[in-house]
Amino acid sequence: MSINIFSPVNLGALRLSNRIVMAPMTRDRAGPGDVATPLMAEYYRQRASAGLIVTEGTQPSRTGKGYWRTPGMHSDAQVESWRPVADAVHRAGSQIVMQLMHVGRVAVAANRDADVEAVAPSAIASTEPVPGPDGTPATTVTPRALETGEIAGVVEEFARAARKARRAGLDGVELHCTSGYLPMQFLSTGSNHRTDAYGGTTTNRVRFVLEVLEALAGAIGADRVGFRIFPGNPYNDMQDDDPAETYAALIDAANPLGLAYLHLIHYPTPALDALALLRPRWSGPIIANNALKLGSAKALLAGGQVDAVSFGRPFIANPDLVERFRADAPLAREDRATVYTGEARGYTDYARWTADAAS
Q: Which residues are catalytic?
A: 181
Return the number of the residue (34 or 56) whose C-beta is nearest ligand FMN.
56
Restricted to residues 314-353, the positions that interact with ligand FMN (CB under 6 A) are 314, 339
Return the number of the residue (199 or 346) whose C-beta is nearest ligand FMN.
346
User: What is the pairing mode between strands 130-131 and 14-16?
Assistant: unpaired
Return the number of the residue (26 or 122) whose C-beta is nearest ligand FMN.
26
Residue 28 near ligand FMN by CB under 6 A: no
Restricted to residues 29-88, the positions that interact with ligand FMN (CB under 6 A) are 56-57
Of 313, 323, 331, 342, which one interacts with ligand FMN (CB under 6 A)?
313
Of 5, 21, 24, 223, which one interacts with ligand FMN (CB under 6 A)?
24
Residue 289 near ligand FMN by CB under 6 A: yes
> What does the per-residue mask of binding to ligand FMN show for 159-188, with x meaning CB under 6 A?
-----------------x--x---------
Do the Cβ atoms of 272 and 243 come closer than 8 Å?
yes
Restricted to residues 222-281, the positions that interact with ligand FMN (CB under 6 A) are 228, 265
Restricted to residues 90-129, the positions that interact with ligand FMN (CB under 6 A) are 99, 101
Closest contact distance (angstroms) between CB of 214 and ligand FMN is: 21
What count of other Cβ atoms lies within 10 Å of the Cβ of residue 355?
8
| Contacting residues toward ligand FMN, per CB under 6 A | 23-26, 56-57, 99, 101, 176, 179, 228, 265, 289-292, 311-314, 339
